[in-house]
Amino acid sequence: MTHVTIVTSLKALLTRDFIWTDEVACSAAAAQLAHALSGGLHAGGSVFIELHGTLGAGKTTFTRHFLRSLGVQGRIKSPSYAVVEQHDLPSLVIQHFDFYRFNDPQEWEDAGFRDLFAAPGLKLAEWPEKAAGLLPQADLHIHIHPQDDDTRRVSVHAYSLVGQDALAALPTLQDLKTVAAASLEVPSHG
Ligand SMILES: Nc1ncnc2c1ncn2[C@@H]1O[C@H](COP(=O)(O)OP(=O)(O)O)[C@@H](O)[C@H]1O
Ligand SMILES: [Mg+2]
């Protein structure tokens, strides 16, 4: 009997590449993306972002800057131990997942992850490949590639119209440091 494996590779609606020269640039990119998604999220929308990259690539760092820009105050813990950390804003619930230690599909049901994904709000997932087959289709995939000189090459893929609009709205950040300097002049929520 012939066994046929069907591989479905979904095509991104839009892909853009960026360079984060340092963490300040990462923070600027996070602020720009937060700005692009904030209106829809605070109006009750749902967005799911997958963060891809090796250990130490900057997935948690990006998420911290992103959540700060959305208005999260206080400590933003890495969910690497608890798998998920929840942040509550007045008009937005945020679930930050790290599936690095996730290896039992039964936990998906038992821990209520299905319900968390079914609810509106923002979800971010580090190591989404460890929960492949369980996660819904993401709006954006962010791939962070550390370079030898500590900069990060970043590819962002949009798989939904919401993701496409947000990604298209990001300025062409040739020199992210300029944008970073400008965004740091805006009074922070913290
Ligand atoms: N350009 C950059 N963008 C993001 N993080 C950077 C950058 N350069 C250096 N870093 C550092 O790399 C580390 C990334 O760690 P972390 O965010 O915990 O990675 P991950 O969650 O992907 O395992 C942090 O210490 C951060 O300060
Ligand atoms: Mg992390």
Residue whose CB lies within 8 A of the most ligand 1 atoms, among 27, 61, 62, for a mutation test: 61
| Within a domain: 164 | yes
Q: Whole-angstrom distance between the N-terminal and C-terminal Cα of the chain?
A: 62
pTM here is 0.89
Tokens of 187: 């009074």
**Residue 147 CA to ligand 1 centre (angstroms):** 12
Ligand 1-lining residues (CB < 6 angstroms) = 20, 22-23, 25-26, 53, 55-61, 126, 150-152
| Within a domain: 7 | no
For ligand 1, atom 6, the nearest C-alpha belongs to 23
Specify burial of residue 33 (Cβ count, 10 A radius: 0-12, 13-18, 19+). Answer: buried
Domain that holds residue 84: 16-181
- Please report, as a single letter, which amino acid is at residue 132: A
| Within a domain: 158 | yes
| Within a domain: 134 | yes
pLDDT tens per residue across all 190 residues of the chain: 556 655 556 899 999 999 999 999 999 999 999 999 999 999 999 999 999 999 999 999 999 999 999 999 999 999 998 999 999 999 999 999 999 999 898 999 999 999 999 999 999 999 999 999 999 999 999 999 999 998 999 999 999 999 999 999 998 754 444 444 445 444 444 4
DSSP code, position 22? S
